[in-house]
Amino acid sequence: MVSRRVSVLLSLLFLLTVPARGQDAASPKAKPRVIIVGVNGMELDIIRPLLLKGQMPNLARVIEKGAYGKLRTVSAPNCPRVYTTLFTSTNPEEHGVTGFVVGGITANTNMLKEEPIWSMLSKSGITVGMANVPATFPVMPVNGYMISGMLTRGKNCEDGVLCAPKLSEVLGGDAVYPRTMQAELLKNVGDFYIDCERMPSAAELKGHETAVIDQWLAKVQVIRDQQTKLFDYLLTEHPTDFTFLAQSCEDRAGHWLYPITPFNVGYNPSINSVRQDAFPNQYVAFDKVLGIVLKHVDASTYLFILSDHGIKPLREFEEKDPHAHMDHEKTTPVIAKHDFADGDDVPGSLFAMGPGIKNDFRLMGLGASVYDIAPTILHIYGIDQPRQMHGHVLTEIFGSSENKVAAQK
Ligand SMILES: [Zn+2]
């Protein structure tokens, strides 16, 4: 286990010893380039019909050129819990981020009890760039930059839970590392929202359902456009060996706008018959974000699109569920969720392409899990898997043993 203090010390140490990019001309080893795009709560039940209808052409391209399938998640999955498992390949009880709130406090990076992958990569001299990734607030030092995501606290988002503070209004910690980058982002990208808009409460909706839904969806698109601009800016102006970007509006929309039928639990025609395409449209919009990211992906780049869990209409007795969805003190009319006791009810998903990764290859079953992402990324960079990690390298997605790792020399 690595304490926060040791971790910070180690991070500072590497910053002193690793030459900055451009200063290491004497050893111009090309490092593999990896881009991860996290999509919170990506649901294959919704995505696959869209793929069949040709409404997600960019994701279809990734599937054709790569490997895809379900990604087994943890029990009672939610974003901070799963993302931190993904960062560390350890279970929630080990890494400490067991949910949105831990011991009465909003989950934050000071709670991390296991070393995250960005720290390991940074120490190995790999440049790291991260933006809008859940559970990265307050940001930690890396060999590059980090801009926090879900659970960032700020004005109108004091607890940081499922709401969207503006970059300039963040409170209680740093949202950008290095600090000097914040002014640059405000100047060149604007005062963007972090994470995604808070869901409306039942009281706000009552009597104004259509107007509130449309307003909310418009705000979500503003946020997505801002984040797309941010990603494009970062990939253009601050390219890093390892880049991890994430989107969270898809999941947020699914919770209360999943296209359910009168058969489902919680069906309210004044809400659930209004914009039945609202949730699928989130993925159509995401596909455009992916199109922008793909402009920065060449044949030597590894691209991983992954989801921490899916999302499904309500199907479980919830009275005793300690992980019941939290927003507006549970007054949002949530009709779909993911924190079911059995995580296999809502698997995440993985789409991967890059050097040596099989083409048009489908992973069947639940053989790949969120625990496998960190070991696989470390493997691509030729870094041995630390003993605490429970996952395995996803060798099954690679075509042949000599292609498993990008050229190191
Ligand atoms: Zn959610």
Residue 403 is predicted with a pLDDT of 45
Binning pLDDT at 50, 70 and 90, where does residue 22 land?
very low
CA of 41 to the centre of ligand 1 (A): 6
CA of 398 to the centre of ligand 1 (A): 31
Q: Where are the domains of the chain?
A: 31-403
Say yes or no to pLDDT of 16 above 60. no
State pTM to two decimals.
0.90
CA of 220 to the centre of ligand 1 (A): 15
CA of 119 to the centre of ligand 1 (A): 26
Q: For the segment 222-261, what is each residue's pLDDT rounded down to a tens digit?
A: 999 999 999 999 999 999 999 999 999 999 999 999 999 9
CA of 168 to the centre of ligand 1 (A): 25
**Mapped to the 3 state alphabet, what secondary structure does 163-215 carry?**
CCCEHHHECCCCCEECCCHHHHHHHHCCCCECCCCCCCCHHHHCCCHHHHHHH
CA of 323 to the centre of ligand 1 (A): 11
Percent of the chain with pLDDT over 90: 83
CA of 333 to the centre of ligand 1 (A): 13
CA of 241 to the centre of ligand 1 (A): 29
Say yes or no to pLDDT of 50 above 50. yes
Tokens of 322: 């300690």
CA of 79 to the centre of ligand 1 (A): 7
Q: For the segment 105-144, what is each residue's pLDDT rounded down to a tens digit?
A: 999 999 999 999 999 999 999 999 999 999 999 999 999 9
CA of 372 to the centre of ligand 1 (A): 22
Residue 143 is predicted with a pLDDT of 98
Say yes or no to pLDDT of 12 above 90. no
Binning pLDDT at 50, 70 and 90, where does residue 319 land?
low
Question: CATH number of the domain at 31-403, please?
Answer: 3.40.720.10
Say yes or no to pLDDT of 369 above 70. yes
CA of 13 to the centre of ligand 1 (A): 37
